[in-house]
Amino acid sequence: MRNLSLYRTVQHTLNTVSAAESVSAVTFDLDQDVLYVACERLTEDGEVQVKVWRVEEKEEDSVNVAGTGVEEEVVEDVSVSLVITFNSPSYLVSNPWSSSGESPHELVSFKFLPDSRTLALIMRQGDIATASLEDEIVAVDVVGSVEAGIMSASWSPDDSLLVLATGDDKLILMTSTFDVVSETTLHPADFGEDAPINVGWGSKQTQFHGSLGKAAAQAPKPSVIGSSPDDDTLPRISWRGDGAFFSVSVLSRPEAPEGSDKPLRHRKFRVYSHAGILQSTSEPTPGLEHVLFWRPSGNWIVSTQRYGFEGGGVGREGRHDLVLFERNGLRRGEFEIQTALAKPSGNQVGKSETSDKKWGYRVKEVGWSSDSNILSIWVEKDAGDIVQLWTTGNYHWYLKHEITAPPTPEGQPGRFTSVTWHPENASNLVLTTTTQVIQRTYAWETYASRSKPPGDSGSVAVLDGASILLTPFRSQNVPPPMSAYQLTVPQSPFAPVLPQSVPVHLSFSQKRDVLAILWESGYLELTDLQTRLGPGKGKIMDPQRLWSGGVVESNENNYEVSGRFHQVTQWISERDNEGGVLQIAVLGSSATDVVNILTIEEGNVKRLDVNLPERNGRLLHSDHTLSWQSPKGQVYDYDSSSGIFVPVSDFPEFCFESERVSVIVEGNVTPIYVGLSNSNQLYIANDQRHRVLASNVNSFFVASGFLIYTTTAHTSQYAPLVELHPLLEALESPVPEWESRRVERGSRIVTVVPSTMSLVLQMPRGNLETIHPRPLVMRIVRQDFDRREYAKAFSACRRHRIDLNVFVEHNRPAFLQDISLFVDQVNDADHINLFLTNIGQGPLPDNVVSQVCDSIRVELEKRDLKKYVNSILTAHVVKRPPDHESALATLLRLRENEPQLVEDAVKYIIFLVDAEKLFDTALGMYDFSLVLLIAQHSQKDPREYLPFLRELRALDKYYQRFRIDDHLKRYEKALKNLSLAGSERFDEAMAYVEKHQLYDAALSIWRDTDKYETVLSLYGDWLFERREFRDAAFVYRKAKHAQKAMLAHERALDWQELFELAVLEGVSEGDISATAYRVAEDLSSKKRYQDSARVLLDYAKDVREAVISLVQGHSFSEARRIITLNSKLELLEDVIYPAALESRAQIAEEIGEMKEQLRKQVQRLRELRVKKIEEPDAFYGTEDAELHDVDVMTDVSMAPTAFTRYTVAPSTASRTSKRSSRSKRKMERKVGSGRKGTVDEEEYLLRSIAKLVGRFNATRNEGTHLLPHLFQFTEEHKAEGIELQRELNDLEEELKAAVDEIWTKKPEDVETTTAEGWAARMQEYEKQRRIDPLEKVQKPNLGPNEWNPKIAVLSIN
């Protein structure tokens, strides 16, 4: 669907060339971007003089161009300098016996060799000359000569080999230094190394012919094989693009066919390897002509074939095909060259009376562009030369462009002297005439309509010779090479000599399908296609010509004016409200670009010419403004008030595909310019700055508020236009991740149709694919929401599989208000069911789903319960949580009057909800008829549910409901029904309460009955069993079970409540005393010594046991008070004194343990810290928990490093297996255990010492409470007190010093050396990243000493 558009023309007229000279060949210096041009002439003495000119574009000083008001650098001329002059004998003088049908150029080959920077000239008479451009004075050196002359020569693509075809029918292969590699004859007898082998499949006529069928086998075969009358008899040589093979086309020696005395020659070509070895020979082809070119990609060898004469192909006379061969010489395709070449048109003459061409024209040469996409055919006609450019796609060949040779100043037909494709710039074609060098650069462009909804047709035009293939993708998707409509265009009447049948450019109007057709001569036609947008019968298009004429009034028969137009565009006029005014801009070139503006209204034409600052620019696609881009990327907008173009923005480089887009920013219309360069850079720019949006883009299109582009990564991106302006304001901000979609490899955008939400893509092989991207669909759907067109939005969402939750997500309050309108528009029950089902299964919150379902259900119930019964049921079951019971209740309402409707509704609801759930729900409604109705339409086996239903029918009402609720596991409701079944079932109810632990429900049911205390007692027993003794005691007391309450209090150790209840219940003193001893023992076991002593004193009256309990808790002061209060002083010696010494011994033992632990751990910490400094690798690398699973080890022992310490082991087991939670906990315990030698040992030691400080604080507190008593007792006690105080002081000092030493950070040396190597840098990074254990473990604090040592001195004194 793409077309070739001309966008750059550079024409050099060599004024230094005399009238007798003629430009014959060009060659390229790619490194310096220089063109070398060879001119030749015949001297009076019969020699050929060859001059080589160096042609280089130059930039002159800035000039003020009228109509712009700005100064720009303009390319106006070229620098031409003579390089060499070389004289050589002509071919006819050297070979007077030669009989060539014409006088070809004497210069057979002209080549620039970049490696040696040498020009190589090969002359027809046999001389091979070189000229080194590195020398100060360039001299021509004849390195060799072929006596028989050289008929053809060709260099390999890498310039390493040269093939010569000589006048004595020799084929010579040489190196770039002109050493002969091989020499053979041009007419070998054998086929070649790739000769076909007969495997016994019979003759060709009996073999399978594919789609051609038997007609191919029965087709008549030519009896005589000859050559074309237009054959120039010269051999041709062409290389394959990779230089591995070359082909040679040559006329055979004359041979007389059977039954004829007239000798005939026929042409065939042969394929040779790069070593000069014959590979294959082409099959006999009658009428095969001299032209030959091997497609660079290598799949086709191209030539031409004539039909309808003796020795020619079998077919009508005048038929002329371009034929395609494979490397093995077999023919694989053909297409007919444009028949208009041979037909006269108007006053044009196809064949003059003196013409030496049988058909009035002949094909002189063919050629391929370097990327194998464009085929050029150089046609020589009596009226002048033309060059046709052909492309192929979907097995169809398109004639895209025709180039007419400019006539001579004397009015003679124009002739090309050479046609050459640029070796690197694939779209650059260099043509030469006798005095001119013309460089034409083409680019691929899609002629697509950019009309806006609702009139957007999505029309796309494809040029194919004199036909324009049109397809409106809104109505039809016709795959190429077919089209929905074929528009035949006339020939341009403004052509100087030859008619121009192929337009140079097309453009669609922005408002309607008005097609502007431009010819390079300046002829312009406007055609209203009148495209049918909707479905229907009849023509898809009914074209009507609106206007035709010249872009410039005085351009008829004036080639200097007419041969320069190459682009046309249309934009919408500010006063064009109904499409009656057409604004046309045509871009042409002379010294600079000129824009010819035509305003056409009711047949009247107003013309305005505006000069531009440079030439070879490009008009931008735009809606309401005319914009132009210079070759340097600067963008200009046309100011209609001043009549000039004003610079407004710029791209970093020239962008052939560019567009001006209007974006609304803060209520103002702001232009943004989008451009795609040849380097696949997609730029956006405004009046101040520009930036790269993506660097791998191959096509883009602006439509529906999106900038849509495809990338070489095979994705299509959808950038909202409103987000482009913020990107230009913040150039440092990254490009956001827009919505994208995967596309087929190499896809390009053809067009976008906003009304159908479609994006048309073309694949590299030519086929089309139409997709409906979500961003385009959602834009239209949201517009429908805003316009409250819910039926249209619903249809679009269904068609394109858009989640219907978008109805609610877009604007929930507005949608809820429009529920009635929604039901009116989407009134089909199935559609409403689909909508409700999507809402119920979507991501909306539960409350929103329920609100929407309830709103729609209420609206449907108001309208027609019978019609929308399925939708109402759907609303009940899809809400969250689903209300199955209400849905079945709706069926009950209709059961009496509409039994058939209810039956159908049951089938429907079973489709939505699991039948088991519906069965249980109906059973829970206690309606057996509804249960049977559900069961009958489900897959349940009657043998399963009928006996159960019969059993239930035989029971009493409430007991029946109890059984149903118990079956449905509604235990609380079952208990309620069981309580209503009668008092005789109370015991069963209590058992049911115990079974299902329904104590709260039971208490609620029997609260105000005589059974309440029984329920309470049962509840208390359950709590007692769960060892919730305090709660059980409270419940027992409420149930008036004192004994159980006392037991529960005793188990809970609530001794105050226990003895209170015992006294209130009148328990005997003996029982109270026994209970006191039991409770005191339990309290002592829980280390509640104060409570134990209180119980013994108050209720057992046992002072001795109370004192013993107190001293066990180190409460010596309270124990001495009790002794003196009860006058039991003998207990001092019996109990207090021994207990004090025993407590002192326990404290001393703990002090010893703490000292030993502190000294060992401090010493270990010192060792670890020394090791960390001296051997950091060993310190960090030993015993890594992550290395425990390593099972891939070498036999060589090596120390672990910091790198391996933090590297995941490449173990198969460690990669494929996962640890269980138990093994993970085990691993965590292992890591935190502080095992010696692990990296966690230091942290473990720090935490252990911190805990030791806390333990010392607790021990010292016990000691400070014991010391006063020791100093008040016997001398032995005083001595022990002094020793205890000393031990505590020593340990405190030692512990304080250790803490200060350990928790003091030492300044570390900062390494300034840079680690070399990736592993070293990773090692350094991991070391620096490691957190110091001192930062993990907080420094502990030693509490204040509450004991004053001076008091001890007083006690001793």
Q: Which pLDDT belongs to residue 1199?
A: 43
Question: Cα–Cα distance between 851 and 857 in angstroms, integer?
Answer: 10
- Of 729, 725, 722, 766, the C-alpha closest to 744 is 766
Specify the DSSP class assigned to residue 79: E
Q: Which pLDDT belongs to residue 602?
A: 80
Q: Which pLDDT belongs to residue 201?
A: 66
Q: Which pLDDT belongs to residue 1104?
A: 86
Contacts from 965-973 at CB under 8 Å and sequence distance 24+?
965/924, 966/992, 967/923, 968/920, 968/923, 968/924, 970/924, 971/996, 971/998, 971/1001, 972/998, 972/1001
Tokens of 1310: 């900062």
Question: Cα–Cα distance between 929 and 791 in angstroms, integer?
Answer: 40
* Cα–Cα separations (whole angstroms), residue 824 to 791, 799, 802, 828, 831: 9, 20, 21, 9, 12
The 3-state DSSP class for residue 319 equals coil
pLDDT in tens, 796-817: 999 999 999 999 999 999 999 9
Q: Which pLDDT belongs to residue 789?
A: 94
**pLDDT band at residue 1130, thresholds of 50, 70 and 90?**
confident
Residue 1134 has φ and ψ, to the nearest 5°, of -80, -35
Confidence check: pLDDT of 221 > 80: no
- Of 743, 841, 759, 840, the C-alpha closest to 800 is 759
| 674: alpha, beta or left? (left if phi > 0; alpha if psi -120 to 50) | beta
Question: Cα–Cα distance between 29 and 48 in angstroms, integer?
Answer: 25
State the CB neighbour count (10 A cutoff) for residue 421: 19
> 231-240, 374-383, 588-597: which range is least confident on average?
588-597
Question: Cα–Cα distance between 1178 and 1183 in angstroms, integer?
Answer: 10
Q: How many residues appear in the chain?
A: 1357
**pLDDT band at residue 560, thresholds of 50, 70 and 90?**
very low
* Cα–Cα separations (whole angstroms), residue 24 to 13, 109, 431, 1040: 14, 10, 10, 128
Question: Cα–Cα distance between 382 and 557 in angstroms, integer?
Answer: 19
What would the mean pLDDT of 1175-1204 be, rounded to a whole number? 47
Burial of 493 (0-12, 13-18, 19+ CB in 10 A): middle
Tokens of 543: 């074209």
Q: Please give the mean pLDDT across all residues of the chain.
A: 83
Provide the terminal-to-terminal Cα distance of the chain, rounded to the nearest Å. Answer: 118
Q: Which pLDDT belongs to residue 70?
A: 35
What would the mean pLDDT of 374-401 be, rounded to a whole number? 92
- Of 993, 994, 969, the C-alpha closest to 979 is 993
Confidence check: pLDDT of 1201 > 50: no
Whether 6 contacts 445, CB under 8 Å: no
Question: Cα–Cα distance between 35 and 432 in angstroms, integer?
Answer: 12
Question: Cα–Cα distance between 1084 and 233 in angstroms, integer?
Answer: 128
State the CB neighbour count (10 A cutoff) for residue 988: 13
Say which residue, 925 or 270, is predicted with more confidence: 270
Residue 132 has φ and ψ, to the nearest 5°, of -80, 125
Specify the DSSP class assigned to residue 1135: I
Specify the DSSP class assigned to residue 727: H
Whether 250 contacts 188, CB under 8 Å: no
Contacts from 72-77 at CB under 8 Å and sequence distance 24+?
72/613, 72/614, 72/630, 73/614, 74/591, 74/592, 74/613, 74/614, 74/615, 75/10, 75/614, 75/615, 75/616, 76/591
Say which residue, 191 or 100, is predicted with more confidence: 191
For 849, residues 6+ apart whose C-beta sits below 8 A from its C-beta are 839, 840, 842, 878, 879, 880
Whether 376 contacts 430, CB under 8 Å: no
Beta bridge partners of 600: 582, 605
Whether 378 contacts 365, CB under 8 Å: yes
The 3-state DSSP class for residue 421 equals strand
Q: Which pLDDT belongs to residue 315?
A: 82
Q: Which pLDDT belongs to residue 310?
A: 84
Tokens of 1334: 């001192």
pTM metric for this prediction: 0.75
Say which residue, 747 or 261, is predicted with more confidence: 747
**pLDDT band at residue 461, thresholds of 50, 70 and 90?**
very high
Preceding omega of 736 cis (within 30 degrees of 0): no
By percentage, how much of the chain surpasses pLDDT 90? Answer: 41
**pLDDT band at residue 248, thresholds of 50, 70 and 90?**
very high
Question: Cα–Cα distance between 50 and 135 in angstroms, integer?
Answer: 19
State the CB neighbour count (10 A cutoff) for residue 1357: 5
Question: Cα–Cα distance between 517 and 878 in angstroms, integer?
Answer: 59
Question: Cα–Cα distance between 650 and 675 in angstroms, integer?
Answer: 10
Question: Cα–Cα distance between 830 and 869 in angstroms, integer?
Answer: 11
**pLDDT band at residue 61, thresholds of 50, 70 and 90?**
very low
Residue 1145 has φ and ψ, to the nearest 5°, of -65, -40
By percentage, how much of the chain surpasses pLDDT 70? Answer: 85
Q: Which pLDDT belongs to residue 1107?
A: 86
Whether 266 contacts 227, CB under 8 Å: yes
Whether 125 contacts 86, CB under 8 Å: no
Question: Cα–Cα distance between 1200 and 1185 in angstroms, integer?
Answer: 13
What would the mean pLDDT of 560-567 be, rounded to a whole number? 67
Residue 330 has φ and ψ, to the nearest 5°, of -85, 145
Beta strands at 236-239 and 180-185: parallel, antiparallel or unpaired: unpaired
- Of 605, 610, 603, the C-alpha closest to 640 is 610
What are the DSSP calls for 659-707, one per residue?
A: EEEEEEETTEEEEEEEEE-TTS-EEEE-SS-EEEEESSEEEEEEETTEE
For 409, residues 6+ apart whose C-beta sits below 8 A from its C-beta are none
pLDDT in tens, 14-57: 877 777 788 999 999 999 999 999 999 888 888 899 999 999 87
